[in-house]
Amino acid sequence: MKHACLRDHARALAVAWAALLALMLASLGSAYLRLGAGNAAVGLAIAVIKSAIVVWLFMRLRTSSATVRIVAATALATLLLLIGLASVDYATRPVEPAAYELPRQTPSLAGARPVQGAR
Amino acid sequence: MSGIVDLASDAGLSWLGGASSVAPRYDLLFAAMVLLCGTVALGVLVAIVAFSIRYRAGAGRGDAAAGRRTRAIEIAWTVTPLVIFIGLFVWAAHDFVALYRPPADALPVYVVAKQWMWKLQHRNGRREINELHVPLGQPVRLLMTSQDAIHSFFVPAFRLKQDVVPGRYTGLWFTATKLGEFRLFCAEYCGTEHSQMLGRIVVLPPAEYARWLGSGSEQPSLAQYGFARFRALGCSGCHDPASTVHAPSLEGLLGRTVHLQDGRTLVADENYVRDSILVPGKDVVAGFAPVMPSFAGQVSEEDIQALVAYLRSTGAPAPGDPQGARR
Amino acid sequence: MTAATAAAFVPADVAHDGRAAKLGMWIFLATELLFFGGLLVAYAYARTHWPEGFAIASRRTDVVLGTVNTGVLLTSSAVIAFAVACAEDPAQRRWTARALALTAVLGVVFLAVKGVEYAHEWREHLFPLAGFALADVAGAGLFFLLYFVMTGLHALHLLIGIAGVCVFAGATRIAKPWATAPRVEAMALYWHFVDVVWILLYPLLYLVERHA
Amino acid sequence: MSSVAEATIDRVGDGSAAPAPSYLDDGHSLRSWLTTHDHKRIAILYAISITVFFFIGGLAATLIRLELATPAGDLVSHDTYNKLFTAHGVIMVWLFLIPSIPSVFGNFLVPLMIGARDLAFPRLNLLSWYLYVLGGLIVLVALALGGVDTGWTFYAPYSTMFSNSWVAVTLVGVFVVGFSSILTGLNFIVTVHTLRAPGLGWFKLPLFVWAHYATSVILVLATPVLAITTLLVVAERLLQIGVFDPAHGGDPLLFQHLFWFYSHPAVYIMVLPAMGVVSEIVPCFARKRIFGYRFMAYAILGIASIGFLVWGHHMFVSGQSLAASLVFSLLSFLVAIPSAIKVFNWTATLYKGSIRFDAPMLYALGFIGLFTVGGLTGLFVASLALDVHLTDTYFVVAHFHYIMVGGSVMAFFGALHFWWPKATGRLYPEVWGRIAAVLIFVGFNLTFFPQFLLGMRGMPRRYHAYPAEFHQLHMASSAGAVVLALGYLLPLFYFSYSLRSACRAGANPFGALGIEWQTRSPPPTHNFDRTPVVPEHVYDYAPPGPRPTRAPAAGAKAS
């Protein structure tokens, strides 16, 4: 009984593993296509799918308690907020680069910090 | 928009000393906020004091059952602030957005901030250090960048501030509405002498401004520039009288007789200063450790001349403040 | 309510063990996600500002070894998931220990391959220090900085994971009472997370643009 | 309902006839303290260590105020001044305020309040303390070597490229302390989820526990971003290339985004536990159920979650985009709403109460007043157009000191008085307690209110010397600081005195209803002799009868 259960389990894991490797190869292949911004999108989308498989099946979020799911969702939401709200700035900030003179530092007397290297 | 400006002047807020077209709108919003928040704070305070007296233990007015049904009240004091806050946001945002829309005819001025000075350049190439002359009633647009850390261009009388960031330009525009001199502060902490990174804005009548702008392609005096380099290169970090590093004071150095560690004496002249900067180990002053690093490759000939000019100015009988703008 | 018999105080922390270990690990992983999240923001900024530099720099990474390593790590994840399944059945103790040991071996293989990559990159002057090979490509320095910080931190996490998995493999083998199934599962959660980080890093670092 | 509490108190009174040793008497050796897993002992360890750091940070503040008593920079050099305010900020934020209420009172009380034996991971808890001490020592080493001059904000590129001070060492210290915070937060969350006493549902939890739960969530989710940011700064200093470095295509504002993503929620790490403390004290001394319990709990969660969305309001003039500033400003106004709800609800709790003014209550009322001012002035700096003028001036300095010192430190002292009898079994001298409370309240306002006026008039912060027109207000502020310093020193003396006095506290000297009051004072190592009784409603206070009498156990109280 338990053995059968374990065998089923192992089979499911093997299928997930095969899917992960297939997705990895797909993502590798996509990098050689000329997709412009699509390269990044496809690469990330596949990475998200792979992560979802790992989290959902390997990490057993599928059968986890509500508390654990809330923890996972909160973490993901916070990460997206960090990236999202920072992107609001970067997406709408006009870029006006200015010539930047390399700083010429006087060497430190205290020795707290190495002398500015050649840059 | 001008209606708001008029309203502000009508409200009698000009005594707050605002000196730009932005200031009256700022003062009005500020006054409104003080009024609103003051009322709320006072309300809370009065409530706490009144309850504390009326319902003090021993007064026997306590009622445990009071205040159990709270939902309506809670919703009321959730929604009311929400509405007020959105109103405040819109008002403040409206004024803020205007700061991002400089008029097309604004006079451009280029600003470079570095530790710890402001270098400004007008359209016709006239340069200033720690001083900015602008005409009354005419929009001026600053294009600013930094050569090192982040600085911030802050003119309290104009109610304006903008960080100056290395590697990119940031902008700031204003129209001065009062004649006179106004303080310029660096408001973003930028290192040792952050609090000395001061300057002034001089607002002139347009005709006088035109004369001023035309009269001078002359640079700021060499001594003035030298003082700025004295600080920017970090000399003042050790040689300032207030410094914790044990280094000789350089005030009135030129012409002074210097006693060296190996027993020689010499009279400090320009060449001595140059040697001390480039080959500091050569003539070490008696009583001081030879800790000064060489600045060879870091200072230009122009810098050395300027530093000498500055040192000479400190030796004059009545040196005066080399930075006219300070204090 | 008032039926307060003067019962001796029985703390509630007997039965909670498994739940607490797993929940604790999930919360720790939430922390870890945000830790790498800061790097992801930096990466997003740098890549959107220097797309060409990132493409050029990314082509200098070793995509073959990177892909092999991805496969190794994905496999290790599947193996440790199998170990967790075995751990739930005390009769499969030996299989649990074997699977955990295999996981650790795969982790070591990953680190070895990563070391070979680093050695290549050192020889090709791809460390963003003095003498950096791509010094004239705007953004390439940032790419390789992020590459080394991200993969370095990932390797550090993996190293900790390998140590932890080895400990559990040994403990399971000799049936230490504290090596319970929920704790093995918590350990595995960490391992999977390190894997997920790599899954994200793989396209971001190796696959920016491979054509042309 | 209150009969339940009284019955409980009586039973505990009986139970104490055959006592197990209290946690304080359970081993007296240094070793027994340094290897303890007992959350109460770890709380005491934290209390001692943060007190040390509080007075080191306070010393820096004293020197700052002394220097600013005159316009010229005459007491210390520029460099020393910069290092002083940096040390003040770093120590007060990371080594005092962030661990203050959570690590001391949270540690001590969360398990007691939920009827648990200990935290979920007692060994991890001890590790947190060691990490905290290690990080604190690293920061002190950096100070001893010569200090840091970047300000506690460590803004790049000054911190990465230009500062000639011990930035990297200090940041390593901050990183380690951050780890301690994360582990504490993790421990609290798991504890609240898994170790609540049977029958203690989420909406029966004291607001103190709610506040610590929310704080822990912030600790766990925000601190790692600070950790990676400090690592990036250290790497940039060592390698001379980094993502914040404009010379290599990096962005200095990226540092600010990452830094404030942590440091704004960190404000709520400091103030949410303080709100929890006040929510315990006010109903107890008003003898009144807290007004709108559920709304208070939701407000805590609201503050914690919206707090993550507002970090950009520190960057309105930094050069971030207009759109970002608009978004962050709007969100910042939203976070003020739950704070307003809390203030209104505490005030409403007083209505028809039966209010006693013991020292904890004075601190709590002081908190409400000062927090109200701090919160309302927050609206000024959340308003875009006003922030342009006010940011980086003393207005901001005053604003956040009203929140962090007027708010959090007041509440910390309130908590210290309120739970002192529980933790030590001794009563503090009530009269001295009240004098100190008033002294701190008055001294605080004298110190910091003038700073609002300074900021309005354009006095920039972090200035070692300043123009003469600001002299009078700075003088006033420095004079007020003397009063404030006296107020902070006073409790040190009377608390030490009370430890040796014979004035023992009963299990429940204030007649409070929390589960922590059902056990002895000081509690036994295993926390409870009997299974604690979960009350129907955690704040079911009622005024005493028509003749004012104190709650039964308060008879031993001398005041």
pLDDT in tens, D288-315: 999 999 999 999 999 999 999 999 999 9
SS3 (DSSP) at C104: helix
User: In this complex, do B192 and D317 lie within 8 Å of one another by their Cβ atoms?
Assistant: no
Residue written as tokens 């963003």?
A: C128
CB < 8 Å to A76, chain C: 33
Q: What percent of chain D has pLDDT over 70?
A: 94
Mean pLDDT of chain B: 82
Interface test with C, best of D219, D243, D308, D529 (most C CBs within 10 A): D243
Residue D15 lies in a domain: no
Average pLDDT rounded to a whole number, residues D116-136: 95
Interface test with D, best of A67, A71, A76, A78 (most D CBs within 10 A): A78
Q: Is A95 exposed, middle or buried (0-12, 13-18, 19+ CB in 10 A)?
A: exposed
Residue C147 lies in a domain: yes
Q: What percent of chain B has pLDDT over 90?
A: 45
Beta bridge partners, B183, equal: B200
pLDDT in tens, D497-535: 998 877 888 899 999 999 999 999 899 999 998 889 888
Distance from CA of B321 to the nearest CA of D (A): 15
Within 10 Å of residue C127's Cβ, how many Cβ atoms? 17
Residue D20 lies in a domain: no
User: Which residues span the domain enclosing C138?
Assistant: 36-206
User: In this complex, do C20 and D121 lie within 8 Å of one another by their Cβ atoms?
Assistant: yes
User: Which residues span the domain enclosing D56?
Assistant: 2-7+34-548
Cβ pair C144, C132 in contact under 8 A: yes
Residue C128 has which token pair?
A: 């963003």
Interface test with C, best of D239, D256, D527, D538 (most C CBs within 10 A): D239
C194 vs B115, residue with greater confidence: C194
Residue C34 has which token pair?
A: 């945000």
Number of A to D CB contacts under 8 A, please give it.
74
CB < 8 Å to C7, chain D: 530-531
How distant, in Å, are the alpha carbons of B78, C12, D275, D282, D347 from that of D365?
A: 22, 36, 12, 8, 9
User: In this complex, do C41 and D220 lie within 8 Å of one another by their Cβ atoms?
Assistant: no
Across C41-45, C208-212, D41-45, least confident range:
C208-212
CB < 8 Å to A118, chain D: none
pLDDT in tens, C14-55: 445 678 899 999 999 999 999 999 999 999 999 999 999 999
Residue A107 has which token pair?
A: 């060497």
pLDDT at B224 over 90: no
C199 vs D4, residue with greater confidence: C199
Number of A to B CB contacts under 8 A, please give it.
32
Q: Pick from D239, D530, D536: which is nearest to C128 by CB?
A: D239
Interface test with A, best of D164, D217, D262 (most A CBs within 10 A): D164
What is the pLDDT confidence band of residue D7, given thresholds at 50, 70 and 90? very low
ipTM associated with this complex: 0.89
Cβ pair B276, B238 in contact under 8 A: no
Q: Is D221 on the interface with C (CB under 8 A)?
A: yes
Q: Which residue of B has its CA nearest to A110?
A: B245
Q: Is B49 on the interface with D (CB under 8 A)?
A: no
Distance from CA of C116 to the nearest CA of A (A): 21
Within 10 Å of residue C6's Cβ, how many Cβ atoms? 10
- DSSP-derived pairing of the beta strands B170-175 and B117-121: unpaired
- DSSP-derived pairing of the beta strands B257-259 and B139-146: unpaired
Q: Pick from B170, B233, B291: which is nearest to A106 by CB?
A: B233
Q: Pick from A89, A90, A103: which is nearest to D161 by CB?
A: A103
pLDDT in tens, B153-176: 999 999 999 999 998 889 999 999
Q: How many residues does chain D have?
A: 559
Number of H helices, E strands in chain D: 18, 0
Residue B144 has phi, psi (to 5 degrees) of -125, 145
pLDDT at B245 over 90: no
pLDDT at D557 over 80: no
CATH assignment of the domain containing C89: 1.20.120.80
Q: Pick from D194, D224, D533: which is nearest to C32 by CB?
A: D224
In CATH terms, the fold of domain B107-215 is Immunoglobulin-like (2.60.40)
Interface test with D, best of C28, C145, C147 (most D CBs within 10 A): C145
Distance from CA of C30 to the nearest CA of A (A): 5
Distance from CA of A42 to the nearest CA of D (A): 25
Of A33, A53, A56, the C-alpha closest to A43 is A33
Q: Pick from A74, A82, A102: which is nearest to D261 by CB?
A: A82
pLDDT at C4: 41
Q: Pick from B166, B233, B237: which is nearest to A100 by CB?
A: B166
What is the number of structural domains in chain C?
1
Q: Pick from D11, D195, D228: which is nearest to C16 by CB?
A: D195
Q: Pick from D221, D231, D241: which is nearest to C34 by CB?
A: D221
Residue D17 lies in a domain: no
How distant, in Å, are the alpha carbons of B123, B139, B186, B193, D155 from that of B113?
A: 17, 21, 9, 13, 17
User: In this complex, do C37 and A83 lie within 8 Å of one another by their Cβ atoms?
Assistant: yes
What is the number of structural domains in chain D?
1
In CATH terms, the fold of domain B222-315 is Cytochrome Bc1 Complex; Chain D, domain 2 (1.10.760)
pLDDT in tens, C68-95: 999 999 999 999 999 999 998 888 889 9
Residues of chain B with a CB closer than 8 angstroms to some CB in chain A? 145, 147-148, 166-170, 233-234, 237-238, 245, 291, 293, 295, 298
Q: Which residue of D has its CA nearest to A105?
A: D162
The answer for C 36-55 residues in CB contact with D (under 8 A) is 36-39, 41-42, 45-46, 49-50, 53
Q: For chain A, which residues score pLDDT lower than 70? A: 1-4, 99-119
Tell me how far apart the alpha carbons of residues D434 and D449 are, in angstroms, rounded to a whole number: 22
Task: Provide the 8-state DSSP code for B265.
Answer: E
Q: Which residue of B has its CA nearest to D289?
A: B64
Distance from CA of C22 to the nearest CA of D (A): 10
Interface test with B, best of D256, D355, D537 (most B CBs within 10 A): D355
CATH assignment of the domain containing D95: 1.20.210.10
Residue C94 lies in a domain: yes
Report which secondary-structure segment, H or E, holds D341: helix D322-350
pLDDT at B86 over 90: yes
User: In this complex, do A119 and D240 lie within 8 Å of one another by their Cβ atoms?
Assistant: yes
Tell me how far apart the alpha carbons of residues D516 and D519 are, in angstroms, rounded to a whole number: 6
pLDDT at D446: 96
User: In this complex, do A86 and C41 lie within 8 Å of one another by their Cβ atoms?
Assistant: yes
CB < 8 Å to C193, chain A: 59
Query: Domain residue spans in chain B?
Result: 2-58+69-98, 107-215, 222-315
User: In this complex, do A106 and B169 lie within 8 Å of one another by their Cβ atoms?
Assistant: no
Residues of chain A with a CB closer than 8 angstroms to some CB in chain D? 67, 74-75, 78, 81-82, 85-86, 88-94, 100, 102-103, 105, 108-110, 112-114, 116-117, 119
CB < 8 Å to B46, chain D: none
Average pLDDT rounded to a whole number, residues D447-465: 95
Across B95-109, B172-186, C14-28, D458-472, least confident range:
C14-28
Sign of the C-alpha dihedral, residues B19, B25, B31, B34?
A: negative
User: In this complex, do A106 and B298 lie within 8 Å of one another by their Cβ atoms?
Assistant: yes
Of C52, C60, C89, C21, the C-alpha closest to C147 is C60
Q: Which residues of D224-236 are buried (b: 16+ CB within 10 A; e: fewer)?
A: bbbbbbbbbbbbb
Residue D460 has phi, psi (to 5 degrees) of -75, 155
pLDDT at B5: 45
Cβ pair A63, C212 in contact under 8 A: no
Within 10 Å of residue C32's Cβ, how many Cβ atoms? 20
Beta bridge partners, B151, equal: B164
User: In this complex, do C12 and D196 lie within 8 Å of one another by their Cβ atoms?
Assistant: yes
Cβ pair D151, D462 in contact under 8 A: yes
Mean pLDDT of chain D: 91
